[in-house]
Homo-oligomer: A and B are copies of this chain.
Amino acid sequence: MSSNDRLIRKLQADTVLGDYEIETLARLPIRPADLAGRQDIVKEGDRPSKCCLVVEGVAIRYKLTAHGDRQILAVHLPGDVPDLQSLLLRTLDHTLATLSPCRVGFIDHADLLDAITRAPMLGRALWRETLIDAAIFREWMTGLGRRDAPERLAHFFCEIGTRLQAVGLAADNGYPLHITQQELADAMGLTTVHINRTLRELREAGLVTLSDGRVSIPDWSGLRARASFDPTYLHLRSR
C-alpha cells in the first residue's frame, strides 16, 4: 500500500472524506524512508519543518523526566501522523521514535499547509485526527491515575487491537506487536519487573499472551471485561 493510500485509509477510519479531499491527499508529496527500530526520529526541542507519517511498523512518543525516567505517551500505528501537531506548534515538547523498524513518509509542512488551504475540509479531518490523539491521551491519563496494573495493561492491549482492526491490520485472535517489557513499563508508568508479573497474571487468566512479538488474545470478551474497555474514546466511524 502506498504512503498516500495508507493515510487516506486511516483518515477514512475516523471521518467521511469527499472526493476532492481524497484527490488532494493522493497528490500530496510524501517522501518515503525506511528506519531501523528503537531510533529517535525527531527530538524534544527540535523545530521540524515536516511531519512524519507511519506507513509500516510502530512508532512511539515519549518524554524524559528530570530524573531520567521515561514516560511513553503514545503508540502510533500505520496511518498515524504522530507529530501532526508540529504543523502549528513550533517546538516539539517530546520525542518521536520508532519502536519496530518502520517505513515512514515525510510530508513538508509547506505542502500540508498548502493542501489544507486548498481543501479546508481536509484541514478539519486532520484537526480531528489531533483531537482523537488527545482523546487517547485522556484515556491513558485515566489509566495512569486510576487503574491498577492488570487493568491498565489489559486496556492497552484492547486499545492497540481495536486501532489495528480499524486499519485492517489485526486478526481476530491477536496482532503483531514487537514491544519489550521495558517499553511496556515506560508506557504504563510501571517497572519492568511488575510488568513481567502482571503479564503472567493475565496470561494465566487466559486473557492475553505476549511472546515473540505477537499479542495473542484467546478471550477478547474476557480481556475487554478485565479492562472495562469502552472504545468510544477512539471516535471511530463505525463499530
- A127 interface residue, CB < 8 Å from B? yes
B232 in contact with A135 (CB, 8 Å): no
B233 in contact with A131 (CB, 8 Å): no
The residue in chain B whose Cβ has the minimal distance to the Cβ of A133 is B134
B89 in contact with A142 (CB, 8 Å): no
A134 in contact with B130 (CB, 8 Å): yes
Given contacts A89-B235, A117-B120, A232-B93, contact A63 B142 (CB under 8 A): yes
Among A61, A91, A120, A130, the one with the most B-chain Cβ atoms within 10 Å of its Cβ is: A130
What are the residues of chain B within 8 A of A70 when measuring CB–CB? 146
B128 in contact with A89 (CB, 8 Å): yes
Please report whether the interface of chain A is mostly helix, strand, loop or mixed according to DSSP: helix
Contact string, A205-239, partner B, CB cutoff 8 A, digits 1/0?
00000000000000000000000100011010000
B94 in contact with A138 (CB, 8 Å): yes
Known contacts A88-B127, A134-B137, then 14 further A-B pairs from the complex at CB < 8 Å, ordered by chain A residue = A63-B138, A63-B142, A67-B146, A71-B141, A73-B138, A73-B141, A85-B135, A88-B128, A89-B131, A91-B232, A91-B235, A123-B127, A130-B130, A130-B131
Please list 19 pairs of residues, one from A and one from B, whose beta carbons are closer than 8 Å in the complex, sorted by A's number: A63-B138, A65-B147, A65-B228, A70-B146, A71-B142, A71-B145, A71-B146, A85-B134, A88-B131, A91-B235, A93-B135, A93-B138, A93-B233, A120-B120, A133-B134, A137-B137, A144-B144, A144-B145, A144-B189
